[in-house]
Amino acid sequence: MSPYAPGISSVQRALLVGSLCLGLASDVFAGRLAGSITQLTTGSANDTQTTPAISGTNVVWTDNARLAGGGTNADIYQYDLSAGGVATNLTNTPDQQEFLDDVDGTNVVYTHTSASNLGDIVVYDLATGTGTTVAGADAKTHFEQPSIRGRYIVYVRSSGQDDIDGYDNALGAPFARPVTNDAAIQARPRVSGDYIVYEDYGSGTADIYGYQISTNGSPFSIATGPSNQSEPDIDGNFVVWVDSAAGIDQIYSFDLTTRATRQLTTVASHKVQPRISGTRVVWADDRAGNLDIYTYDLATNSEDVVVDGAGDQMLSAISGNRVVYTSNASGFEQVYAFTINTPPPPPPPSDKPFGCDPAKTDLVDASVVMTRTGKMPVFASRAFSTVAGHSYWVCVENGLPSGAQRTSTFDFGVDGHLVLNPSDFKPSHNPPHWVSARIFDDDDDRGHRERDEHGHHWQSPKQIWAAALFGSITSATVTVSIRTALDPHH
């Protein structure tokens, strides 16, 4: 099946069909990205699904069904990965065709054709369930190949020549002037933020050009040369494309900020439709003999296989850690999603000092809660055991988690040695929630030391701490804990 539905120009159809021609490669890639695969559609020989796009958890694709009376019908389907359930047919028009879809947030764009219409661009709002024609065809002009990011929709305007044009969805109006308007063919536009990228055939081969929307200036070259530079995509500052030299494709990237170009791949193979999200690029690659989905991470400079196996995995798109793609491993095209395993986020930095941090110290004994409700002081005392080679800390949680019942009048000591006093709870008008201090470690030489049979100092196995909570504030609470750490010199 052709990836383009009827209505696309013959030149553009030939370009993609040519890029899908397979070639064998001797190199087999070893790296594999960890993740899970979910089948999103159930196709058949009479009902296939292809050209998926994704934004967040929203996935859209083109469903091509054979009609009982002959011919085919293409409709746009949408599926929410977070909600599950059944995919929704957004168009459901047996006598019309909708295809080549894209999605951003809750906005879906697609090309619409019929017997009397060569091609409109429609934006469908998933939130309201309504479609709006943003570029309407007439007898001389039709539109195709839409792309959407943020407020902008871009597409090809075909009226005897193929140019790039656009629509501001926030304003509800087409661009004040077309992006291009010349005899050369322009194709495959993609948009992100303030920039559009596309193919330009003014040199006789495909080159990659860019356009900054806010300036309404002239297009600028990104990648040119005697070989074809084609199939661009953009996200943020990064542009990616395929460069084909001597029949060998390589993936390149360009940073709009630094103006630096990078070659991302080196293996000799055919590569199809790179897509980028953040710093991760995906594309279809036939280096193992058939098309598989590969990825390159610009942040880590690493290349991996996303999904491979029987048949072709191709026509992929990416959003965050999710990749959607078409597979014909069953003998007909269906849509799948690959979710990249991502490590859990690091825990937030602890607001506790070292001697209170459970990630760095261990509790020695049960905590003791001291609460004073009047002006009379409250006392507490407890024994705890020690082990030679360990450091010991007192941890005081001052007040309640809400911030209430804190105090700055508290003393703590061990075997007659004062460890904490009110000066450790400043400022007195807003005392800290957590206070800790090291009691001793096995290098201390205090009176509570004894000698072992070899004459070495060691801490006696039992220590006694005592604490006093006093002051004139009518309500205060502290929780006292003894904790230990293996590093005696932290």
Q: What is the pLDDT of residues 343-363, one digit of tens each?
A: 888 888 888 999 999 989 999
Q: What is the pLDDT of residue 349?
A: 83
Q: What is the dihedral of CA 148, 154, 157, 163, to 10 degrees?
A: -140
Asked if 61 and 53 touch (Cβ cutoff 8 Å), the reply is yes
Q: What is the mean pLDDT of residues 69-86?
A: 93
pLDDT for the residue numbered 343? 85
Does residue 18 carry a pLDDT above 90? no
* 30 has pLDDT over 70: no
Structure tokens given for 166: 């656009």
Give residue 9's Cα distance to chain centre. 34
430 in helix, strand or coil? coil
Only one residue has tokens 């590093």, namely 487
Distances in Å between the alpha carbon of 278 and those of 212, 269, 307, 320? 19, 25, 20, 7
- What's the mean pLDDT when you consider all of the chain? 89
* Least confident stretch, 69-73, 140-144, 257-261: 69-73
**At CB < 8 A and 24+ separation, what contacts does 62-69 make?**
62/5, 62/98, 62/99, 62/100, 62/101, 62/110, 63/89, 64/1, 64/5, 64/99, 67/94
Instruction: Give me the pLDDT at residue 15, please.
Output: 33
Strands 107-114, 238-245: pairing is unpaired
Structural domains in the chain, sorted by start: 10-340 (2.120.10.30), 354-485 (2.60.120)
Q: Determine phi and psi for 412, rounding to 5 degrees.
A: -145, 135
Q: How far apart are CA 465 and CA 379, in angstroms?
A: 11
Of 83-87, 173-177, 314-318, minimum mean pLDDT range: 83-87
489 pLDDT tier (thresholds 50, 70, 90): low
What percent of the chain lies above the pLDDT cut of 70?
89
pLDDT at position 289 is 96
List, for residues 364-413, the tens digit of each pLDDT value: 999 999 999 888 999 999 999 888 888 999 999 999 988 899 999 999 99
